[in-house]
Amino acid sequence: QPIRLSDYRPFPFEIETTHLSFQLEPSATRVTATLKVRRTGADGEALALNGERLHLKSVAIDGRALSADQYVLDDERLVIAEVPDAFELTTEVEIDPSANKALMGLYMSGGRFCTQCEAEGFRTITFFPDRPDVLSRYTVRIEADRAFEHLLSNGNLMEAGQLEGGRHFAVWNDPFPKPAYLFALVAGRLDVLEDSFVTMSGRTVALKVFVDPGQASRAAYALDALKRSMKWDEEAFGREYDLDLFMIVAVRDFNFGAMENKGLNIFNSSLLLAEPETATDFDYERIESVVAHEYFHNWTGNRITCRDWFQLCLKEGLTVFRDQSFSADMRGAAVQRIKDVKALRARQFAEDAGPLAHAVRPSSYLKIDNFYTATIYEKGAEIIRMLKTILGADAFRAGLDLYFDRHDGEATTVEAFIACFAEASGRDLTSFFAWYEQAGTPAVSLTHAYDAAARTLSITLTQKTAPTSGQPVKKALPIPVTIGLLAQDGRAIRDSEVVLLEGESLTVRWEGVAETPVISALRGFSAPVTLTTDARPADAYVQFAADPDLFNRWEAGQTLARGLILARAAGAPDEVGEERYAEALGRALDDEAADPAFKALLLALPSEGDLALAVDPADPAAIHAARGLLRARIAVHLGEQLARIHGAMQGDGEFSPDAASAGRRALRNACVDLLSADPHAENVQRIVGHFEAAAALTDAMGGLSALLAVGGEPCETALSAFHAKWRHEPLVLDKWFSVQARDPSEDALKRILALTEHEDFDAGNPNRFRALVQGFASANSARFHDPSGAGYRFLADQILAVDGFNPMTAARLVEPLGSWRRYVPALGELMRRELERIKAAPGLSKNVLELASRALE
Ligand code: ARG
Ligand code: ZN
C-alpha cells in the first residue's frame, strides 16, 4: 500500500545520541547500536524501529536483555510495545556485506567496505527510526583487520589504534545531528590525495580524497573542483564549511552518481577520477558539477534536511540549482544554460509526457527510490530558478538567507522554504506553490499584433497543461516569460523584460515600438514550458543570426531544424528550407565573435527523443531517417567549411580541461560527427585520422562514434584497437560499451545483444551495465524502436535479469518502455507487451512493480 504525504506523523521519540560499533568481517559483520531514547510523543506509544535483512542477536533496555515475548520482530520492523520515557536501547545484529549486491546499506566494492544509505539503506545496517526527521548525534567505532587500512566515518577522528590479532580500530564523532540517511562508513586499502582550504572565517579544513591504490593523481581535478566549490559557496551564498575535515571516497560499484554523507561524500568513481586520456571533457564537466553538488548539500540537505521523503526536492532541486549556477560561473552562462535545458527536455519533458509523470513534490509513493527522478531534480531546479526570476536576485538571496537562518538544524518542508521567500520579498507566493504540486509540462502559446501606425505591439500569452495520471484538471501556473524585441535586421530594439503570465491568458501592450519587431520570448528558457508562437520562419532566421540572448539564438536554430525534420518525416520535405538552414548554419559558424562551445551546440540537431516529443504519435523510423537526411544535407553543403574548422580547432599539444579548450574540442568533434553523415573517402580518411591522432579521450570517442556511423573495415579496426588499449581501464571500457550501444546502424542490434555475452560485460557493476543498457534505451532511438520489437525485448530481459539482485538499477530502466502510448500503435503495442511481461514476472521487486504498473495504468 502506498505511503502518503497526508499521513505524516512525527516520530514519538527523540534519539539524542547514537553509538554504533562495527566489527567488520566481509560476510559476518557485527553491528552494536546504543541509542539514547526519550519519549516526545504520547504516553504508551510503542517504539517501532525499521530493520531489514538483519539477524538480531540481542536487544536490551538500560542494560537488561529483553526476552522474545517483549518485542515483535518481522521482516521490516522491530516493535517494543512497552518502553520507559527515557532509556538506553542496545541492539546487536549480524549482517553480510559480501552478499549485498543491491548496493544499498553496507556492501563490498573492490574488496572494500562502503555504504549507501539514502534513502532507506540504513535499516539494513541496524535497527533504527530510518526516516529523515529523526536527527541524532553519532559516535562510530570501527574495528577491522589491518588489511582494511583506512577506517572512515562521518565527522572528526577521535581515536585510533592497534588491537590484538592483527586488528585495528578508529572512533569517529560527528558533532552535527543528522538523519540516518547521511551516515557513511568506508574501510579498506586506499590512496589519498590531500590538501586544505581556509574558510572565510579563517578556519583551516583538511581535504582528503580517497581512491583505489595507484589512482591518486586522477583525483587532482576533483580536489581542485572541491576547493573552487567551497570558495564559490562562500561568495555566492555566504555558506561556510563547518567541520575540520572533508573527505571524498571514490568507489567502483555504486548505484548513482554520488552521495553527500556528512563530511564523507561517497562518489561513483566515474564521477571523480579524471585524466586526459581516460576522461572526456563531458566527464570533467560532470565531475566539477557533481563535486560541487555534493559539497553544496552540506547546507542544502545536511544542515537543513527534509522532514519526509516527499520533500526530496527541497534539497535536490535547490542543490541542482546551486550546482548549475556554479557551473555557469565556471564555464559560461549561455553554454551551460543550453546544456541544462537540453538535458531537461531529454529526460524531464519525456517523463512529464508519459504515464510516470509526477509532481515535483509527489503525494504518494510505493518506493521512494523511484522518485530520484529528473522531475524532482531538474524540474525542481527550474522552480528555484523561476523563483529567482520572479523575485529578482536580491529578494531571492534575502529569502534564502532567511531560510538558512531560520531552519538550520531542522528537518523541514517545501512550505517552510517558500514561506521564507514570501516573507523576505513581501509577496504572496500561494499560487506559485502549484508548481510543486502539479505534474505535466505547461504549453504556452504566444500570438502578437503589431500596429505600425500606433507603434504598439500587443502580445498575448496563453497557457494550458494537459491532464496527467491522477490529475485530470490543471490549474494555471504563474509563468515568468522573459521577452525582448529585435528589429528585422537583428538590432535589439527593446531589452528583456519579465512578463508574468498568471491566469490562463494575458495580453501586454507595449507602446513606442517603432518598427515591425521580431519577438524573442522565453529568453534564457525562463520557465520549464513548451512555447509555440505565431512567428514566421523568417523571424527565426533573424534570431538565429543575431539574438543577443544566446539561449534563444540557439533555440531559433533548433526550432528551424525541428520544423524541417518533422516536415520531412511527415512526407512533406521543404528542400529549399533545408538549403537555407544549412546556409544560415554556415554563417553562424563563421562568426568570429562566437564561442566554439556555442558553435558546437549549434551544429547538433535536435535529438530523436526531442523530436518524438513534438509529434503524436511518434514514428521513430521516420524521424531517424528525416534527421539523417538533414544531417547529410548539411554535411554536403558545409563539407569544406567543416573540414577547415576541424583543422583550425586542432589543439597545440598540451591538454587542459578548461572550458575554452574543451569548447574547441567540442567543435572539432561536432564537425567530425557531421562529416560522418557524408562518408566519402576524403571524409572517412579525416575521421580515421582524427581517431588515430587522438591524445584526449574526447577526441578518441568522437572519432569512434563517427566511425561507427561510417561502418565497415575502419570501424572494426578502431573498435578492436580501442578495446585492446583500454581493456584494463574500467571507466574507459565502459565507454567502449556505450558507444556501441548508441550505434543506430541497421545491423547494430546484433552487436549490442552479443555484447551482453562479452567477457568484459558485468551486469553486477552498475556503470558497466548502464553503459550498455541505459545507453541503448535512452540514446539509440532507432534501434530501441526497431520494428521487430527486438530492442524492447532486450531491455525487458535486462531489467528482469538485474532486478533479481539490484532492484534500484533495474527500476531506472523501465521509463523508456513507459512512453508506449506516444508511439505509433504497432510499436506501442510491442512496448506494452514487454511491460506486461515484466509486470507478470515472478518475484519482481517493489521498485520495478511500481513503475511497470504505473506505466500500464
Ligand atoms: N542524494 C544523492 C544526490 O543527489 C543521490 C542519492 C540517490 N539515492 C537514491 N536512492 N536514488 O546527490
Ligand atoms: Zn543531490
Peptide bond into 177 cis (omega under 30): no
Mean pLDDT of 764-792: 98
Contacts 24+ apart (CB under 8 A), 419-422: 421/387, 421/391, 421/395, 421/396
pLDDT at position 45: 97
Task: List pLDDT tens digits, range 224-258.
Answer: 999 999 999 999 999 999 999 999 999 999 999 99
Query: For 49, which DSSP code?
Result: E
DSSP assigned state of 370: G
Q: Which of 252, 291, 286 is nearest to 268 (CA)?
A: 252
The tens digit of pLDDT for each residue in 182-192 reads 999 999 999 99
Distance (Å) from CA 850 to ligand 1 centroid: 19
Q: What is the DSSP string of 371-396?
A: G-SHIIIIIHHHHHHHHHHHH-HHHH
pLDDT tens-place string over residues 289-345: 999 999 999 999 999 999 999 999 999 999 999 999 999 999 999 999 999 999 999
Ligand 1 contact, 323 CB (< 6 A): no
Closest-lying ligand to the alpha carbon of 297?
2
Tell me the per-residue pLDDT of 783-792, one tens digit each, with 9 for 90 and over.
999 999 999 9
* pLDDT value at residue 118: 98
| Residue 11 pLDDT greater than 90, yes or no | yes
pLDDT tens per residue across span 559-594 = 999 999 999 999 999 999 999 999 999 999 999 999
Query: What is the CB neighbour count within 10 angstroms for residue 629?
Result: 17
Mutate to test the pocket of ligand 1, among 259, 286, 305, 368 (most ligand atoms within 8 A of CB): 259
Residue of minimum CA distance from atom 3 in ligand 1: 259
63-92 pLDDT, tens per residue?
Answer: 999 999 999 999 999 999 999 999 999 999
d(CA 561, CA 567): 10
Q: What is the mean pLDDT of residues 651-666?
A: 91
Q: Return the pLDDT at 590.
A: 96
3-state DSSP assignment of residue 570: coil
Mean pLDDT of the chain: 98
Q: Which of 433, 530, 508 is nearest to 477 (CA)?
A: 433
Q: Are 134 and 179 in contact (CB under 8 A)?
A: yes
Say how far residue 648 (Cα) sits from the centre of its chain.
34
Give DSSP secondary structure letters for 262-289. Answer: TTEEEEEGGGT---TTT--HHHHHHHHH
Closest ligand (CA of 104)? 1
pLDDT tens digits, residue range 119-151?
Answer: 999 999 999 999 999 999 999 999 999 999 999
pLDDT of residue 23: 98
User: What is the rounded CA–CA span in Å between residue 705 and residue 397?
Assistant: 44
**How far apart are the two ends of the chain, measured CA to CA in Å?**
16
In this prediction, residues 620-634 reach a mean pLDDT of 98
Going by C-alpha positions, the residue among 430, 429, 425, 426 that lies closest to residue 398 is 425
User: What's the helix, strand, coil split of the chain in %, to 5?
Assistant: 45, 25, 30
Q: 737: closest CA among 725, 722, 321?
A: 722
CB of 258 sitting under 6 A from ligand 1: yes
For residue 651, is pLDDT > 90?
A: no
> What is the structure's pLDDT at 1?
85
pTM of the model: 0.98
Q: Which mutation among 120, 182, 256, 290 tests ligand 1's pocket best, with the greatest number of atoms within 8 A of CB?
A: 256
pLDDT exceeds 90 at position 652:
no
Whether 294 lines ligand 1, by a CB cut-off of 6 Å, is yes
Q: Which ligand is nearest to the CA of 365?
A: 1
37 in ligand 1 pocket by Cβ < 6 Å? Answer: no
DSSP state of 7: G
Residue whose CA lies nearest to ligand 1 atom number 12: 259
Phi and psi based region of residue 571 (left: phi greater than 0; alpha: psi -120 to 50; beta: remaining): left
In this structure, which ligand is nearest to the CA of 118? 1
Assess whether 294 carries a catalytic annotation. Answer: yes
Cα of 258 vs centre of ligand 2, distance in Å, is 8
What does the pLDDT average to over 409-415? 98
- Alpha-carbon gap, residue 340 to 4, rounded angstroms: 31
Q: Which of 372, 376, 845 to mutate to test the pocket of ligand 1 (most atoms within 8 A of CB)?
A: 372
Q: Is the peptide bond before 119 cis (omega within 30 degrees of 0)?
A: yes
Query: Which among 294, 316, 382, 834 is annotated as catalytic?
Result: 294
Torsion of CA 111, 116, 121, 127, to 10 degrees: 70
- Specify whether the CB–CB gap between 703 and 718 falls below 8 A: yes
Number of the ligand 1 atom closest to the C-alpha atom of 294: 12
Dist. CA 294 → ligand 1 center (Å)? 10
CB atoms within 10 A of CB 554: 25
Ligand 1 pocket, residue 118 CB under 6 Å: yes
Q: Does 619 contact ligand 1 (Cβ within 6 A)?
A: no
Distance (Å, rounded) from C-alpha 704 to C-alpha 736? 9
Radius of gyration of the chain measured on its C-alpha atoms = 28
Nearest ligand to the CA of 322 is 2
Residues 6+ apart with CB under 8 A from 347: 374, 378
In the 8-state DSSP scheme, what is residue 771?
H
Q: What is the 3-state secondary structure (H, E, C) of 311-329?
A: HHHHHHHHHHHHHHHHHHH
Task: Indicate whether residue 120 lines ligand 1 (CB < 6 A).
Answer: no
Instruction: Give every CB contact of residue 387 below 8 A, 6+ residues apart in sequence.
Output: 396, 399, 421, 432
Cα–Cα distance measured from residue 531 to residue 510, given in angstroms and rounded to the nearest whole number: 20
pLDDT in tens, 163-205: 999 999 999 999 999 999 999 999 999 999 999 999 999 999 9
pLDDT reported for residue 653: 75
Q: What is the pLDDT of residues 678-713, one digit of tens each?
A: 999 999 999 999 999 999 999 999 999 999 999 999
The whole-angstrom separation of Cα 199 and Cα 193 is: 19
Backbone torsions φ then ψ of 41, nearest 5 degrees: -100, -160
Question: Is any ligand 1 atom within 6 A of the Cβ of residue 369?
Answer: yes
Take residue 827 and report the three cell numbers written for it.
510499436
Closest ligand 1 atom to residue 293 Cα is: 12
Strand partners, 49: 78
316 lines ligand 1 (CB under 6 A): yes
Number of H helices, E strands in the chain: 30, 31
For the Cβ of 119 lying below 6 angstroms from any atom of ligand 1, the answer is yes
- How buried is 680 (Cβ within 10 angstroms: 0-12 exposed, 13-18 middle, 19+ buried)? exposed
C-alpha 374 – ligand 2 centre gap (Å): 12
Q: Is 260 in the pocket of ligand 1 (CB under 6 A)?
A: yes
Query: How do residues 450-499 score in pLDDT, each as one tens digit?
Result: 999 999 999 999 999 999 999 999 999 999 999 999 999 999 999 999 99
Ligand 1 atom at minimum distance from 372 CA: 11
- In angstroms, the Cα distances linking 624 to 509, 634, 740, 777, 826 are 42, 15, 17, 15, 17
CA dihedral 323, 328, 329, 330 (to 10 degrees): 90
What distance separates the 2 farthest-apart alpha carbons in the chain?
95
pLDDT digits (tens, 9 = 90+) for 388-403: 999 999 999 999 999 9
Confidence category of residue 214, pLDDT binned at 50, 70, 90: very high
For residue 554 and ligand 1, the question of a CB distance below 6 A is answered with no
Cα(210) to ligand 2 centroid in Å equals: 20
Which ligand 1 atom is at minimum distance from the Cα of 368? 10
* Residue 743 CB–ligand 1 contact under 6 Å: no
How many angstroms does the Cα of residue 416 sit away from the middle of ligand 1? 22
Strands 443-451 and 364-365 come out as: unpaired
Share of the chain above pLDDT 90, in %: 99
Reduced to 3 states, what is the DSSP secondary structure of residue 650? coil
Q: In what order do the strands lie in the sheet with 479-486?
A: 492-501, 479-486, 518-521
Please choose from 118, 182, 260, 314 the residue to mutate so as to test ligand 1's pocket, defined by most ligand atoms within 8 A of CB: 118
Of all atoms in ligand 1, which is nearest to the CA of residue 256?
Answer: 7
**Interaxial angle between packed helices 639-648 and 659-675, expressed in degrees from 0 to 180 and rounded to the nearest 10:** 150
Q: What is the pLDDT of residue 2?
A: 94
Q: Is the pLDDT of residue 501 over 90?
A: yes
